[in-house]
Structure 1
Amino acid sequence: MKDVTQLIDGWSLRHDETLLPARVPGCVHTDLLAAGVIPDPYLGRNETEVAWVGGRTWSYVTDLVHDSAHERTDLVFDGLDTAATITLAGEALGKTRNMHRGYRFDVTGRTGALEVRFTSAYEEAAAVRALTGERPNVYPEPFQYIRKMACGFGWDWGPTVVTAGMWRPVRLEHWSTARIDRVRPLVTVEGGTGHVEVRLEVRRSERGSGRPLTARATVRGPGAGAGATAEVSFTGEEAVLRLKVGEPRLWWPRGHGDQPLYGLDVTLLDGGAALDAWRRRIGFRTVGIDRSADAHGTGFTFVVNGVRIFARGVNWIPDDVLPSRVTPERYRARLAQAVEANVDLVRVWGGGIYEDDAFYDACDELGLMVWQDFLFACAAYPEEQPLRGEIEAEARDNVVRLMPHPSLVLWNGNNENLWGFRDWDWEPALAGDSWGEGYYLGLLPRIVAELDPTRPYTAGSPWSGSWDHHPNDTRHGTHHSWEVWNRQDYAEYRSSVPRFVAEFGWQAPPALATLRRALPGEDLAPDSPGMLHHQKAEDGNGKLNRGIARHFDLPEGDFDRWHYLAQVVQARAVGSGIEHWRAHWPLCAGTVVWQLNDCWPVSSWAAVDGDGRLKPLHHELRRVYADRLLTLLPGRSEDDGPELAVDNQSADPWRTAVTLRLLDADGGVVREAVVEVAAEPRSVARTALPPELRPTPGSPKEFLVADADGLRAVHFPVPDKEFAYPRARYDVRTEPVPGRTGAVDVVVTARTLVRDLLLQADRLAPQAVADSGLRTLLPGEEARIRVTGCGDVRVAAVRAALFSADPA
């Protein structure tokens, strides 16, 4: 049987004339941090203090000693970041220039000093650019000339921290006769039978050449007795095994069913002796995208196991700009936060990485569909060598690596490059030069069709399906909605109904405790030096302030209220978009919020900040992505008035009595009615409101409330700053939670209308977490907010951590 030796320990990083201890997997920055050579780039403005690291050449060294009775020993790198020269005992083993693929070198019988020397990514990119010529780019960094995590060069939410190192595992593999090279399981379901076609490729030693071998594949079910086995003998380097599983349990996205996973074992044998083994988990399901033309344009609807799905998605960026620090536990924690927000789809964005298998394993188990971008974002990419060959090898490696995962439901060619070509003045600048179209419409779909025909492919996001329509046409395919954040009020989300909203979002600062940790000692203000450094978006603070000012008086000299209002506007903006687009299902078939997570502490569009703390947006996603959603949609005109939408994405009918109340600013009931509404499974019921229940257009003293089955929707006809709010009054008490150390219930009883009440739990203790976000209370109503991780707290401290949109 093949033996594997992990090469984790014994590495050193050469820094000038010094050898520093090194961790593998890791990178130069993590090793320099551990040795105290550089400050934490995430704190203050240290990012600029460590910029020199990305411009240097770095070497990792160790003594390679091994002794094996096997015929062959391979040195295997799962990930080298990025342009490296590998030498053993002074002799070159090879060179690499791609962070996103693995490498293997024959070191049979060879020992001695092993060195992995990394050229600066800037130097490598410059050399490639000299060969290919200039290409347009939305950022002044050369990431399109090197196959490396693009956002490490900086983004409008990320720092410029250009890494180098062995960011994924390194090992020795000792083998004889033959080893498994690649396994491609094609998993389908037809007529109640599960089919697994295992396509196996092997590599043979000289002694093993032409030798009859046996491949055995076994599917092990999650229940007793479920499974199948197949064997085949072969003399070449490829074999195909076909297995059938009768009536398999189907894998479903969360909210639609269970996620049963089957074990798939492939063993390579020489006679009765096992030479190598490969083990993964698979799931039986069918997946497709319905892109049918209709009266409205061209759809884009996920169909899983024959069921059409409104996708409730989030965009995912690398969870750390030093990606070797992201552990399986951290992946699971972050993805669990997505599940808590009722998310069912995660889009792995094209400026990052193909994530570790631990990411996809967690998605398999949690029922999170994965939309996987190929790694191209916001730039024109040359199609000449040496990039073209690297891109083909990278795509083949990662399609094969990721295709066993049932959570993976879509391959996407790029992020915004087709749109960029058409709208961002690239076409005249390129003057006929290559820019990536050949990848997205040629190379990549051919590779997916060859290697993984069980999954759909789309050329890009956004993409209307062909050049017959504008790439970002709302009527066709996928759409990115950024005009609203950049230039308009969030109410403008309601002005259109795209077929699928693959990106949209609104910024807000991170939690206060995150800011205090990241900007130690700073007197916080929206424009304080550290705050501005941790705001990477173009005119980001200007857009934040304009977003606030459209609805509230912009606070001057009150950072705490500015911080709260920015988070409120973020939650309202995203919530209003999702409410509107969900109400138009099935015309609109999904929303993918930009973004779930952050890679460092920063003001950004994320729902979970760089320290893992939840913004109010996360709680708002939990509400608007729930199976059942109650919405009061503003009318298309003052004459229309608000409309009630009862959105039922559950599998059961929803028949409910909706209590509608027209109230005055003091909370008094002007008029009231009960409306019976029925929404069938996976459908939306929309009802015009009786004229007598509509607030007077432009009234600063009337608002509307709808309640049903514990859900609430509110409608105010004017912006907050024009509404005649009474001064908010509420009582606060705390109650210990029996049997829960460090947990307390905060009970707030409203004496007036209290809109968008928020308890910022991290103000009580940095590790404290509240179980709810924004809440609107009517006079006499009570809100119970459970806080964990805070210990005993005084009511005065709780009051200081409570905010509301109306004056308090």
Structure 2
Amino acid sequence: MTRQTLHEGWTLRALPGPQVPAGIAGRAVPATVPGCVHTDLLAAGLIPDPFVDDNETALAWIGRTDWVYETTFDRRAGDDERVDLVCAGLDTVATLTLNGVEVGRTENMHRGHRFAVGALLRPGANTLTVRFDSAYRYAQGHRDALGDRPNAYPEPFQFIRKMACNFGWDWGPTLVTAGIWQEIGLHAWSTARLATVRPLVTVADGVGRVELHVEVERVAATPLTVRAAVAGAAVEAVVPAGERTAVATLTVRDPELWWPRGYGEQALHRLDVTLCAPDGRTLDAWSRRIGFRSVRLDTTPDAHGTPFALHVNDTPVFVRGINWIPDDPFPSRITRDRLAHRLGQAAGAGVNLLRVWGGGRYESEDFYDLADELGILVQQDFLFACAAYPEEEPFGTEVAAEATEQVTRLAGHPSLVLWTGNNENIWGWHDWDWQEPLAGRTWGRGYYLDLLPRIVRELDPTRPYWPGSPWSGSEELHPNDPAHGTMHIWDVWNTDDYTKYREYVPRFVAEFGYQAPAAYATLRRALTDEPLAPDSPGMAHHQKATDGDAKLQRGLDAHLPEPADFDDWHFLTQLNQARAIQLGVEHFRSHRDVCAGTIVWQLNDCWPVTSWSAIDGDGRRKPLWYALRRAYADRLLTVQPRDGGLALVAVNETGEPWRAPATVTRLTLAGEPRAKTAYPLDVPAYSAVVLALPADLAGPEEARRELLVAEAGDTAERALWFFAEDREVDWPAARFDTTVASGEDGQRVRVTARTVLRDLTLFPDRLDPSAEVDRALVTLLPGESATFTVRADTALDPVALTARPVLRCVNDIDAATRAVPAAATEGATA
């Protein structure tokens, strides 16, 4: 058995069409495989960077063009009985020709293909050609034949099995790709090969079981032996002559368990599978790390409705989640190192679950391997989003094939704990005025409630399936009912102030989000606007949400001072995003007896854009990331409205009781105490305690000049409650002292407050794009100090590092009272 990759020597050319620019028509350029048309044209210098300004618009012709990839290769000598051309991923409508003979056609980006080509291979040079027809022409053709169906955007993405967000989204560019986007090569083999290996892992009563399902493809009707070993257990199974499947069970007593991060270790065990001929020769081999763990959903009705509670190893897990979108429109640019950094950022923010959203892709082996290692749970959507999808052919067959392949491929990963049928499509059918234009045509219901659950049940009954996000557990209920199953909350962003989060006590929140622009260095890399302004041409083009800037302004008007310039607007919109999501998460966590989890929209971006992300398109952390780290901390202290008053809520998501002295103090902005209460805090493991605050704490004498400060033992972050919105608070002009000292870990910026400093934050990327800071959104009372560690490729100017627009707080907004640091020195003691 030999494998020969075919990743070298490729060229790319556009087939003639009136839309093809003159400098590209008829020209062959070097192509990188895996890759896509856009990345090859970029490498050849034939198109501008689509992420810069409005270049995206000028590149729309690419998705409407037919493209040809071609390479010549020498066949490796061998006497194998079978040679297959194996394509892990073709994007999307492809015709493959070997030495002038068509060998196959594909029309699904989300599955692999294998073609027998041994009879077509020649000694010496062989020519492989892959033609990609326009995704637009294909999708529009099927739309015309089957009848249009509603969706969220004026693009035909539901009429092709392709990454939907390639066609643009309210956070993404319209860059309709084509190309050989995953590995391609020749596989030569004899007798038989392993077609699929599907380990179903369960744990019960201290016994781990791997039920191993093996399917073989054969060219010889001989008996075969499957051998498997894991964690000291071994087993053999025979595939009788002429048959294609075998099931073998490995039993491991008291295995080291795999746990989500924060609940235990991530024990992984290598499972090795070999296929042997009658004479003992190894014909094929397969290996993967697996983890022993159980997973189930508790949806047993209770007094509050229908819960949606995830249990791993029979332990309830409060989900501290965030949604994941494709990290780049061009998947071949997403390396394992980039994924490791991004998932590390998620873990650093306290995230324990990533939901892979249904308008992107089934995530890669690298993604799932890293999630396995980090203990990050994964909810994988099947790929249907925000549209009515046709169920007629060829789509019914293609969906079944892709689902079968992906459920089988991902079965061994312990991090994968839930399959979801779609994103918002059942909700859309109910609430988005779809039913009349559909006029009885199919829209995807058969996928979500029949085909997909049947495939999961047959191929991987070890994992739960949920028909949609949101979904309330029954067609008898509205799909976005807060009292049942999962819900999405989007009225807050679209129409209401973010304090409305407190009106919901849902069972599980699978999406809610609030926008802010990207980091300043990211904007400056991507936009040539001079000057930058909220509505300058580049900023406007990189705001894809309907009325997005108006919604940002509505949020500012409700809470914060009027920005005097772009620098103020940038800081305040990022701050408002962080506050909105922190308020929502802390509220939902404070009701953990009813609500079993939150999944914030969204972790990442795929390009520089104003969006709901915590990490922007260049990988920089927005203030939201720091707010999430606090709101998702294992131990959370928060002040919440309760029953017409205020309460101190302590949430403990650890396996140990949380016992500490707690105090709540009502202070003036000058730091003068007005009232104080002490509590002996005693919070059992995985629970919350709610303590009503007395009237002398909950009722201020001067709402515009007072706040509450709650502290518990050595809790790193304290809880604050302001009685008035920032725009109404009598903020003093911000005054503070600073020192800057160099250390091995970077420059340490120490700020000592002379006045209250609200949400003190450093933006060092304004001085150096490589710079980042370890903390943000720190509120200091007079006399208090905080130290920020700044890391950059080169040392930053201490004066610039401690002044506007790098060092900001809310009470430096008024132009008449902008802060001036009293001192900024290099080499002082931090």
What is the TM-score of this pair, normalised by structure 2? 0.94
Which letter does structure 1 place at the counterpart of 2:734? Answer: A
1:37 to 46, 55, 65: 46
Deviation, 1:234, is 2.5
* 1:552 pairs with 2:555: no
* 1:133 pairs with 2:144: no
Question: Which residue number in structure 1 is paired with residue 781 of structure 2?
Answer: 778
Deviation, 1:91, is 1.3
Question: Which residue number in structure 2 is paired with residue 728 of structure 1?
Answer: 734
Partners of 2:701 and 2:128 in 1: how far apart?
76
Question: Which residue number in structure 1 is paired with residue 619 of structure 2?
Answer: 612
- Structure 2 counterparts to residues 277-288 of structure 1, below 5 A: 277-288=285-296
Answer yes or no: is the 8 Å Cα contact 1:57–1:120 preserved in 2.
yes
Answer yes or no: is the 8 Å Cα contact 2:381–2:421 preserved in 1.
yes
Deviations 1:222-258 (A, max 9, x none): xxxx443434353211111111111111111000000
* 1:12 pairs with 2:11: yes
Partners of 1:64 and 1:100 in 2: how far apart?
27
* 1:763 pairs with 2:766: yes
- Structure 2 counterparts to residues 283-432 of structure 1, below 5 A: 283-432=291-440
Question: Which residue number in structure 1 is paired with residue 682 of structure 2?
Answer: 678
- Structure 2 counterparts to residues 518-529 of structure 1, below 5 A: 518-520=526-528, 522-529=530-537
Deviations 1:51-97 (A, max 9, x none): 11111000000124313221111000000000011111221111100
1:249 to 233, 256, 260: 256
Answer yes or no: is the 8 Å Cα contact 1:601–1:609 preserved in 2.
yes
Which shifted more, 470-479 or 189-198? 189-198
Partners of 2:762 and 2:809 in 1: how far apart?
9
Which letter does structure 2 place at the counterpart of 1:788? Answer: R
1:714 to 702, 712, 720: 720
Partners of 2:529 and 2:437 in 1: how far apart?
46
Partners of 2:627 and 2:217 in 1: how far apart?
52
Answer yes or no: is the 8 Å Cα contact 2:400–2:451 preserved in 1.
yes
Question: Which residue number in structure 2 is paired with residue 805 of structure 1?
Answer: 810
Deviation, 1:521, is 5.1
Corresponding residue SS for 1:189: strand
- Structure 2 counterparts to residues 116-127 of structure 1, below 5 A: 116-127=130-141
Corresponding residue SS for 2:488: strand
Partners of 1:50 and 1:65 in 2: how far apart?
36
Partners of 1:595 and 1:794 in 2: how far apart?
34
Partners of 1:705 and 1:37 in 2: how far apart?
58
Question: Which residue number in structure 2 is paired with residue 62 of structure 1?
Answer: 71
Question: Which residue number in structure 2 is paired with residue 106 of structure 1?
Answer: 116
1:165 to 148, 167, 179: 179
Which letter does structure 2 place at the counterpart of 1:620? Answer: A
Question: Which residue number in structure 2 is paired with residue 591 of structure 1?
Answer: 598
Corresponding residue SS for 2:264: coil
Question: Which residue number in structure 2 is paired with residue 87 of structure 1?
Answer: 97
Answer yes or no: is the 8 Å Cα contact 1:497–1:584 preserved in 2.
yes
Deviations 1:731-767 (A, max 9, x none): 1110111x34xx1100000111111000012123110
Partners of 2:211 and 2:676 in 1: how far apart?
62
Deviation, 1:697, is 7.6
Question: Which residue number in structure 2 is paired with residue 234 of structure 1?
Answer: 240
Which shifted more, 714-723 or 59-68? 59-68
* 1:215 pairs with 2:226: yes
- Structure 2 counterparts to residues 169-180 of structure 1, below 5 A: 169-180=183-194
1:468 to 448, 466, 476: 476
Partners of 1:155 and 1:755 in 2: how far apart?
35
RMSD (Å) for aligned C-alpha atoms: 1.1
Question: Which residue number in structure 2 is paired with residue 512 of structure 1?
Answer: 520
Answer yes or no: is the 8 Å Cα contact 1:522–1:530 preserved in 2.
no
Partners of 1:774 and 1:696 in 2: how far apart?
24
Deviation, 1:17, is 2.0
Partners of 1:190 and 1:296 in 2: how far apart?
30
Deviation, 1:698, is 7.2
* 1:72 pairs with 2:82: yes
Deviation, 1:717, is 1.2
Which shifted more, 706-715 or 36-45? 706-715
Deviation, 1:669, is 1.4
2:274 to 267, 271, 284: 267
Deviation, 1:468, is 1.3
Which shifted more, 152-161 or 125-134? 125-134
Partners of 1:595 and 1:541 in 2: how far apart?
18
Which letter does structure 2 place at the counterpart of 1:40? Answer: D
- 689 and 81 in structure 1: CA distance in 2 versus 1, 3 angstrom threshold: same
Answer yes or no: is the 8 Å Cα contact 1:290–1:300 preserved in 2.
yes
Deviation, 1:592, is 0.2
Corresponding residue SS for 1:332: helix
Deviation, 1:467, is 1.4
Partners of 1:201 and 1:504 in 2: how far apart?
42
* 1:666 pairs with 2:670: yes
Deviations 1:609-651 (A, max 9, x none): 00000001101111111100000113453xx2x2100000011
Answer yes or no: is the 8 Å Cα contact 2:223–2:238 preserved in 1.
no
Partners of 1:553 and 1:189 in 2: how far apart?
56
- 74 and 697 in structure 1: CA distance in 2 versus 1, 3 angstrom threshold: farther
Answer yes or no: is the 8 Å Cα contact 2:237–2:246 preserved in 1.
no
Deviation, 1:287, is 0.2
Deviation, 1:685, is 0.5
Deviation, 1:522, is 3.2
* 1:48 pairs with 2:76: no
Partners of 1:698 and 1:68 in 2: how far apart?
87
Question: Which residue number in structure 2 is paired with residue 578 of structure 1?
Answer: 585
1:151 to 165, 168, 171: 165
Deviations 1:763-808 (A, max 9, x none): 2311011000110001111100011115333332112311101234
Corresponding residue SS for 2:197: strand
Which shifted more, 89-98 or 792-801? 792-801
Which shifted more, 453-462 or 57-66? 57-66
Deviation, 1:166, is 0.4
Runs ≥4 in structure 1, deviation > 6 angstroms? none
Answer yes or no: is the 8 Å Cα contact 1:695–1:702 preserved in 2.
no
- 496 and 385 in structure 1: CA distance in 2 versus 1, 3 angstrom threshold: same
Answer yes or no: is the 8 Å Cα contact 1:697–1:717 preserved in 2.
no
Question: Which residue number in structure 1 is paired with residue 444 of structure 2?
Answer: 436
Deviation, 1:677, is 1.4
Which shifted more, 233-242 or 326-335? 233-242
Deviations 1:326-379 (A, max 9, x none): 011111110000000010000000000011100000000000000000000000
Answer yes or no: is the 8 Å Cα contact 1:395–1:444 preserved in 2.
yes
Partners of 2:359 and 2:349 in 1: how far apart?
24
What is the TM-score of this pair, normalised by structure 1? 0.97
Partners of 1:697 and 1:525 in 2: how far apart?
40
Corresponding residue SS for 1:263: strand
Which shifted more, 697-706 or 110-119? 697-706
Answer yes or no: is the 8 Å Cα contact 1:699–1:718 preserved in 2.
yes
Question: Which residue number in structure 2 is paired with residue 645 of structure 1?
Answer: 649
Partners of 1:548 and 1:399 in 2: how far apart?
45
Structure 2 spans left out of the alignment, 5+ residues: 15-24, 813-818, 820-830
Which letter does structure 1 place at the counterpart of 2:730? Answer: A
Corresponding residue SS for 1:711: coil
Which shifted more, 457-466 or 657-666? 657-666
Which letter does structure 1 place at the counterpart of 2:501? Answer: Y
Corresponding residue SS for 2:525: helix
Corresponding residue SS for 2:585: helix
Partners of 2:158 and 2:794 in 1: how far apart?
50
- 698 and 55 in structure 1: CA distance in 2 versus 1, 3 angstrom threshold: farther
Partners of 1:139 and 1:694 in 2: how far apart?
47
Deviation, 1:690, is 1.7
Partners of 2:377 and 2:701 in 1: how far apart?
43
Which shifted more, 692-701 or 610-619? 692-701
Answer yes or no: is the 8 Å Cα contact 2:638–2:650 preserved in 1.
yes
